[in-house]
Amino acid sequence: MKTLLTTFILSLSLFACAHDPTATWNGLNTRAVNLYQQGRYPEAVVFAEDALVMAEKNFGPNHLNVAQSLNNLAGIYSAMGEYEKAEPIYLRALKIREETLGPAHPALAITLNNLAELYRSRGDYSLAEPLYGRAFAIRVNYLGPDHPLVAITLNNLAELYSVRGEYARAEPLYIRAIEILETTFMPDQYKLAKSMINLAGLYSATGKFEEAEIFYRNALDKLEGTVGEDHPDVALTLNNLAELYRENDEYEKAEPLYLRALKIGERSLGPDHLNVAVTLNNLALLYFLLARLEKAEPLFLRSLEIREKALGPDNPDLLYVIENMAQFYRKTGRTEEAEVLEERAKAIRSKSP
C-alpha cells in the first residue's frame, strides 16, 4: 500500500475585508485543506464543496479560483478512493488552467501531477506517465531542479515505476526526492515521511528488509510528530511495517501493528475505504498463517466486499484477495469454493490488458 503526494493549494488575499467573498472563499479552502491534512476527509469534502459553490457564484465558472477549488475537492475524493468522482473534477480544473494560463504555466503542473496520481492509483499507468513527465518538465523549468515540488513529482514518478516492478528506475528517483526534501530550508517533515515510506516499500519488495525497517520507522516517527497518531498515513505506515514483519515470519510483531492500522483506518477513512480493505486482507493472511482460521475468513470476505463495491467485480485489484481466499479454502478442504474463486481469478486475468 503506497502513499500519494497530492498538491493542495491555499490562497491568501492581503486586501480582503471581512465581507469580501474572497476572504470567505479563502477561509473555506483553508478549512478544507486543514481537515484533509488531519485525515478527516468527509468533513473536508463539505468545506471544499462550499468553497467551489462560492467560487462559481462570485468569480464565474471559468475563473482560476474555481480551478483551485476543483483541484482541492478532487484531491479529497482521491484520498477517499472515490476516483470516479475525482477524475472529471480534475479534468475540469485542468481545462480552466490550460485555457487561462497556457500549456506550460507552473500552476498547471499541480493538476497534472494530481491527475496522474489518480490514474496511477487506479492502475491506469499509461495515462499517468505522460502527465508526470509534463508536470516534471514544467516544474524544473520554472522552479529549478532542487525545488520541493520537483521532489514531489520525482516521488510520484518513482511510484509509477515501482508499481510496474521497474525498481532500478524508481530507486534513484526516490533517493533524489528525499535529498531535495531533506536539504530544503525548514524541511516539510510530512512530505519527507511519505517519500521515506515509498522508498521503504521498494526496499521491502527487493528483499532489503533492514533498510526498509529503518525507513518505515523513521517515517512513522515523523508522521506521528506532524499529523498525530490517528492519521490515515500513520495507518498506512503501520500496515506496511506489519507486512514487512509478516514476510520475515515475525508474526508477533505484525499483529498489533495491523490491528492498530485497522482501527485508525476505519475511524479516519470509514469502514469501506480501500485502504481498510488492504489491511483486512493482510491481517486475514496473518491469521491464516497462524492457523487462526475462524478469524481469517470473515476478514477475507469483508476485504473482498469492499473492493468489489469500490472497484467493480472484474477489477484486477481484486485478484490478490480472491487468490488468497482460494488458497485458504483449499487448505481447509473446501475445494468447491476454492475452484469457484480460481475460475473467477482466471476470468479477471483474461480480461486484463
Q: What is the pLDDT of residue 113?
A: 92
State whether residue 183 is helix, strand or coil. Answer: helix
Neighbours of 120 (CB within 10 A): 23
Count Cβ neighbours within 10 Å for each residue of 177-215 and write b for 16 or more, e otherwise: bbebbeeeeeeebbbbbbbbbbbbbbbbebeebeebbeb
- pLDDT averaged over consecutive 10-residue blocks of the chain (353 residues)? 52 45 91 85 93 95 96 92 93 96 92 93 92 95 94 94 95 97 87 94 96 97 93 94 96 98 93 92 96 96 92 87 94 95 93 71
Q: What is the pLDDT of residue 334?
A: 95
Q: What is the pLDDT of residue 57?
A: 94
Q: What is the pLDDT of residue 238?
A: 97
CATH architecture of 1-135: Alpha Horseshoe (1.25)
Q: What is the pLDDT of residue 294?
A: 94
Confirm if 60 and 99 have CB atoms less than 8 A apart. Answer: no
Confirm if 226 and 196 have CB atoms less than 8 A apart. Answer: no
DSSP symbol at 20: -
Q: What is the pLDDT of residue 41?
A: 85
- Please report which residue ranges of 125-273 form alpha helices under DSSP H: 125-143, 148-163, 167-183, 189-205, 209-226, 232-247, 251-269
